[in-house]
Amino acid sequence: MQRSNQYDVIFDVIANTSYNKCKRKLTRNGIYISNIATVRTIFGSLLHPVKKIMGIRKKQTYNWVKPEGENLEKISKLIQRGFVKPIVDKVFPLSEVRQAQEYCETGQKRGKVVLKI
């Protein structure tokens, strides 16, 4: 849910940003999730239980997801029920797929880019 440019969840599925860059955009109980396994994310996930024991709470977690039908169906149901609201940046007609790809590569997008069929 978005509240004045703050989000409950930021799920960075392509690792084009970082927790440090996003933390000010999170609500008080918001969480940043990374989907890309890097040295930093693996190390961070290994330290998470230690930080929890020590009472250090960061609004950051790591999640590695396989795009399997069952998982995608669960996410679809969450979207349909309004628990998850994807943010759409731009919609391109299918005939402009090249322009859509070029826009994604600029690094300026701030949400999903959709191809309308």
Residue range of the domain that includes 91: 87-117
Q: Indicate if 106 and 49 belong to the same structural domain.
A: no
Q: Indicate if 72 and 109 belong to the same structural domain.
A: no
Count other Cβ atoms within 10 Å, centred on residue 27. 15
Q: Indicate if 57 and 114 belong to the same structural domain.
A: no
| pTM of the shown model | 0.53
Kindly tell me the sign of the dihedral angle through the C-alpha atoms of 51, 52, 56, 60: positive
Q: What is the pLDDT along the chain (117 residues), one digit of tens a residue?
A: 444 688 888 877 766 777 778 888 888 778 877 766 677 667 766 776 777 677 666 666 666 666 678 877 888 888 899 888 888 899 999 999 999 999 988 878 888 899 999
- Amino acid letter at 63? N
Q: Indicate if 64 and 92 belong to the same structural domain.
A: no
Q: Indicate if 67 and 10 belong to the same structural domain.
A: yes
Token pair 């084009």 in the structure block, residue: 16
Give the per-residue pLDDT at 85. Answer: 80
Give the per-residue pLDDT at 1. Answer: 45
Q: Indicate if 21 and 47 belong to the same structural domain.
A: yes
Domain count within the chain:
2
Q: Indicate if 44 and 99 belong to the same structural domain.
A: no
